[in-house]
Amino acid sequence: MKISLISVGTEMLMGQTVNTNAVYLSQELNKIGLDVMYHHTVGDNPRRLRDLIDLAYKDCDVVITTGGLGPTQDDLTKEIVTEVLGDHLVLDEAILDDLKQNFKEQGKPFTDNNRKQCLLPSKGITFDNRKGTAPGFALEMDGRIAICMPGPPYEMKDMYVRHVRPYLEAKSGQALRFRDIRCYGIGESRLETELLDLIEGQSNPTLATYAMEDECYLRITAKADSEAEAEAMIDAYMPAVRERIGAYIYSEQGEELIDVTARLLFEQHITVSCAESLTGGLFASTLVSVPGMSAVFDRGLVTYSNRAKMEELGVSEETIARYTEVSYETAKEMAAGVRRVSGSMLGVSCTGVAGPDGGTKQDPPGTAYIGISFGNETYAKRIVTRNLGRNENRHSTMMAMLYEVYRCAKACADAEAPDEGQEKN
């Protein structure tokens, strides 16, 4: 099925709001195998909206609108859509009762213009709005389908997931499911190379690789008659995928590295502290973005000056004099130092050159050393980022620290469950 998306609202034409609805819906519709042919944004103008709908049906089976369903006079999406498709609006008494009840519960007076929100196409299917007041609907007339949803993204997304996606899947007669296999420490081109025969040999499921900042992922997409069947088709591919790239996978369910790492730290009761130089608090800040982090995170020492590294972490003056502050040795002493002063089970550190200036020929901007102290081991690793900029370098270094912490916690989890064998994140 081919789809045209129409977003109604002047705030986007002013550049005050980014059209995130079009991005979300395009991604979601592509995931279920539907093709988006157009995005349009237009103000509350009947003639222009009518023109766009007419244009859409030249190529598309479905027009999806967001916005313009509210109670005020200039909200007219519903009226125009219904008119173009040849239906008319009728008052939905059930929706009206719900809405009145809703206002009553919130202690707000029900003003008469709210009745407008309860006028719905006589031949449509109403979609209730759990996050706001304006209901949405689908209307099919003579093979042309229109779907209207409210504009606020949280209302729209809730309605899409509960009503619109099932409606469209039923119409298209197929289920499409995908799974994102997230990897760290492997570039997209190598990921593709490792999987090339699987990628090229298959049409269903399909495999495709995608690059993100500092990581990449594999998406496996399957089409089938049912959701369960599509999931089973993806499952069947996992052994081959794990065999090729298992060493780089940190989540088979599309999760973020921070969330996987936090869960492992919680489950394994591993307490953590960090000592940061070039990331300047970004690692600690990323950790504590997860609720409940105080259960395992004790402290983070942002030792930006050399004096701070010596005073706070006990890095020796001799080490800095001999190896400089940007070195394996300093990173190791920082990790061991923060572990010692905090009494945490794991100490992680970084030191390096954030840029744009500074650094040496050996260690130019974008070079960092990551230190880890955990169990009986204290070690350091050198990373060289793509040096795309100061804050990109800081992000890459933070991700490298996070991945080392993930590896330590994962090793503990694996040691606990030695019989399970295969990786399950």
Between residue 372 and residue 411, which ones bind a copy of itself under the rule CB under 8 A? 390-391, 394
Number of Cβ within a 10 Å radius of residue 337: 26
Choice from 8, 22, 159, 245 touching a copy of itself (CB under 8 A): 22
| Min separation Cβ 78 and a copy of itself, Å | 20
* Residues in 315-344 at the binding interface with a copy of itself, rule: CB under 8 A: 341-342
Q: Does 285 engage in binding with a copy of itself (CB under 8 A)?
A: yes
Choice from 1, 55, 198, 233 touching a copy of itself (CB under 8 A): 55
Nearer to a copy of itself, 118 or 176 (CB): 176
Q: Does 1 engage in binding with a copy of itself (CB under 8 A)?
A: no
Q: Which two tokens stand for residue 136?
A: 């949405």
Nearer to a copy of itself, 139 or 313 (CB): 313
Q: Which residue has the tokens 């969330």?
A: 259
Choice from 125, 141, 308, 411 touching a copy of itself (CB under 8 A): 308
Choice from 166, 356, 364, 375 touching a copy of itself (CB under 8 A): 356
Q: Does 279 engage in binding with a copy of itself (CB under 8 A)?
A: yes
Q: What Rg value do the Cα atoms of the chain yield, rounded? A: 27
Nearer to a copy of itself, 51 or 227 (CB): 51
Degrees, nearest 5: CA angle 190-196-198 = 135
CB 44 within 8 A of CB 8: yes
- Residue 121, preceding bond cis, omega within 30 degrees? no
Choice from 357, 362, 377, 419 touching a copy of itself (CB under 8 A): 357
Q: Does 282 engage in binding with a copy of itself (CB under 8 A)?
A: yes
Q: Which two tokens stand for residue 342?
A: 């905090």
CB 8 within 8 A of CB 66: yes
Q: Does 53 engage in binding with a copy of itself (CB under 8 A)?
A: no
Q: Does 307 engage in binding with a copy of itself (CB under 8 A)?
A: yes
Question: Can you tell me the distance from the alpha carbon of 213 to that of 206, in angstroms, rounded to the nearest whole number?
Answer: 23
Nearer to a copy of itself, 59 or 317 (CB): 59
Read out DSSP for 198-265?
Answer: HHHH-SSSEEEEEEETTEEEEEEEEEESSHHHHHHHHHHHHHHHHHHHGGGEEESS---HHHHHHHHH
Interacting stretch for a copy of itself, rule CB under 8 A, among 64-72, 138-146, 179-187, 355-363?
A: 355-363
Backbone dihedral region of 285: left (phi > 0), alpha (psi from -120 to 50 degrees) or beta?
Answer: alpha
Choice from 8, 32, 34, 41 touching a copy of itself (CB under 8 A): 41
Choice from 125, 141, 198, 293 touching a copy of itself (CB under 8 A): 293
Q: Does 180 engage in binding with a copy of itself (CB under 8 A)?
A: no
- Judged on CB neighbours under 10 Å (0-12, 13-18, 19+), 173 is exposed
Q: Which two tokens stand for residue 327?
A: 């070195």
Interacting stretch for a copy of itself, rule CB under 8 A, among 122-130, 147-155, 300-308, 372-380?
A: 300-308
Q: Measured between alpha carbons, how far apart are the two ends of the chain, in Å?
A: 35
Choice from 101, 193, 226, 289 touching a copy of itself (CB under 8 A): 289
Q: Which two tokens stand for residue 256?
A: 């973020």
Nearer to a copy of itself, 66 or 117 (CB): 66
Q: Does 61 engage in binding with a copy of itself (CB under 8 A)?
A: no
| Min separation Cβ 204 and a copy of itself, Å | 19
Q: Does 24 engage in binding with a copy of itself (CB under 8 A)?
A: yes
Torsion angles phi and psi, residue 216, rounded to 5: -150, 170
Question: Can you tell me the distance from the alpha carbon of 215 to that of 257, in angstroms, rounded to the nearest whole number?
Answer: 10
